[in-house]
Structure 1
Amino acid sequence: MADHEDDLVASKTEGFKVGEKKTIEEYKELDKNDESLNRWKASLGLNTGSTICDPNDPRKCIIKSLALEVQGRDDVVIDLSAPGALDSLKDKPFTIKEGANFRIKATFQVQHEVLSGLKYLQVVKRKGIRVSKDEEMLGSYAPNTTDKPIYEKKFAQEEAPAGMIARGHYNAVSKFVDDDDHTHLQFEWSFDIAKDW
């Protein structure tokens, strides 16, 4: 995957600095009388339910599944937690009908600490030439709790290319990365654009 490394660098906002790391308890106690900060903490779910972290799993973010949503069709779901799921993605392409409107949906779990600025990066190539690079900001999340055991994020809707030139095989590499430039998951996959499903 080394040949994709330059393509998979997240954009940076000039002047933005990642804040100091804090524990969940420190966030809960932080400026209790600050109304806007309390709204932010509530939006993250910092004050609801008990956390469901696995103390034996050091990962901060666990990507559970990706799905391709197309109106009028069943979702194509890739269970990323299944053994060997990532290994087969590159060699077993799925088909997208040319001109179809679709979107990707990710489900994931956060544990141990607040996850700041999770992003999804994707580079698509055809015959070795880059045809697209996408970056989707997923947001910041508190560790999952009994009240919210999993997060689900739907990406912006896209339209598959159409026409004889667009049809064919594509290779892609995707990466989930946070504001600390920590890569939570990176994998290669492939798909075909065809006349029909």
Structure 2
Amino acid sequence: MSAEEHHDDADLQPTFAEGYKPGEKKTLDAYRELDKEDESLARWKASLGIANNMPTEASGPKVTVLSLTLTSPTLDTPIIMSLADHTDFKTNPVTIKEGVDYSVTITFKVNHGLITGLRFMQVVKRGPLTVDKMDAMIGSYTATETPYTKQLASEQAPKGVVARSGTYHARSRVVDDDKEVFADFRWIFTIGKDW
């Protein structure tokens, strides 16, 4: 592992509020049995989709990240980066229009069980300098056949001649509270006068 990759890994570690400790891992069966008489907890479990008829734990990855999508009010067609063909966006830069507000949307599937504290982390570098870091909570979800989508908070692209003069390298990661990594990928973008 190169020194740069090691530094990126340190930048992509989840941060927690002071005093916060992630809860211990539990199986779905343990969550089903947890305080059955507590009405508020029953409502919380129902909001997560924890039902008695859900399948128990299975093998394979709990979460599969399907795509990363960029949207903006100024963009006619969203830019979708499918993780199935991620080599394409590692070599072909995405162009983001300077100065616009844009959002990142994550599409993912929970394959089995319950995932808690899922989060999206990203480090953006221009040359050796880190120019942006993101640590955004996605949430807690249960297994379903239908993929989930989560739109993150809007950001503003840099603008000006200096912003347009280089290439930006992003490393994105999806992890949970237990620091289990479900996706770790790189992509490149430039800032342009238009999309």
**Amino acid in the other structure paired with 1:102:** Y
Contact 2:110 2:143 in 1 (8 A): yes
Give the secondary-structure state (helix, strand or coil) at the position aligned to 2:153.
Answer: coil
Give, in angstroms, the shift of residue 17 of structure 1. Answer: 2.1
Q: 2:68 aligns with which of 61, 66, 84?
A: 66
Counterpart secondary structure, 2:161: coil
1:158 aligns with 2:160: no
- Is 1:36 aligned to residue 40 of structure 2? yes
User: 1:99: which partner in 2?
Assistant: 99
Name the Cα RMSD after superposition. 2.0
What is residue 2 of structure 1 aligned with on the other side? Answer: 6
Distance 1:73-1:181 versus aligned 2 partners, 3 A rule: same
Contact map agreement 2:55 2:113 (CA 8 A) in 1: no
The alpha-carbon distance between structure 1 residues 62 and 192, as it changes in their structure 2 partners (threshold 3 A), is same
- CA offset digits 1:137-159 (Å, max 9, x no partner): 11111222x5xx22110000111
Write 1 or 2 for the structure with the bigger share of helix.
Answer: 2
After TM superposition, give the deviation of residue 78 of structure 1 in Å.
1.3
- Report SS of the residue matched to 2:29: helix
Q: Secondary structure at the match of 1:6?
A: helix
Q: Cα offset for 1:49?
A: 7.0
- Identical positions, percent: 42
Equivalent residue in structure 1 for 2:81, among 47, 57, 78: 78
- Give the distance between the partners of 2:76 and 2:60, measured in 1 at CA: 37
In 2, Cα distance between equivalents of 1:31 and 1:118: 24
Once the two structures are overlaid, the 10-residue window that deviates more, 32-41 or 154-163, is 32-41
Supply the distance in 2 between the matched residues of 1:92 and 1:111 (Cα, whole angstroms): 30
How far apart, CA to CA, are the structure 1 residues paired with 2:25 and 2:155? Answer: 35
Q: Aligned letter for 1:163?
A: G
Q: Following the alignment from structure 1 to structure 2, what is the Cα–Cα distance between the partners of residues 65 and 193?
A: 21
Gap regions ≥5 residues in structure 1: none
Normalising by structure 2, what TM-score? 0.88
Runs of 4+ with >4 A deviation: 48-53
Query: What displacement does 1:51 show?
Result: 5.0
Gaps of 5+ in 2: none
Matched with 1:171 is 169
> Which of 30, 54, 76 matches 1:26?
30
SS in 2 for 1:65: strand
- The alpha-carbon deviation at position 88 of structure 1 amounts to 2.5
Task: Report whether the alignment pairs 1:188 with 2:183.
Answer: no
1:17 match: 21
CA distance in 2, matches of 1:186, 1:48: 33
Indicate conservation of the 8 Å contact 2:48/2:140, yes or no: yes
